[in-house]
Amino acid sequence: MHDFFLAKQILEKIEEIAKEKNLKKISKVSLEIGSIVLAHDGLPEHIDDINLENLLFGLKSFAGNTQLSQTRFDVKKVAGDDWKITNIEVE
């Protein structure tokens, strides 16, 4: 569940960057994901780490009907506790 929430946040950020920089055809987005733990209700017993497989599935699913439908996502697990977009490639 948290994986899909994060996927939606990431796609919103990519779309925001694309709009700001007038990027039309994004072919690849590289991301670094730290040990992000999220709790949907703030209770510590409901905390989950992000699963990269689920995150990729969420990114591809949510991007399906957007300008990012053909975008490849390269996701790398790194140290830290946050996520960031490291590169956006355009055609």
pLDDT (tens digit per residue) in 6-24? 999 999 999 999 999 999 8
Predicted TM-score (pTM) of this structure: 0.84
- The Cα–Cα gap between 45 and 63 comes to 31
Which domains does the chain possess?
2-90 (3.30.2320.50)
- The Cα–Cα gap between 29 and 11 comes to 10
Q: What is the pLDDT of residues 39-52, one digit of tens each?
A: 455 555 555 677 88
- The Cα–Cα gap between 8 and 80 comes to 21
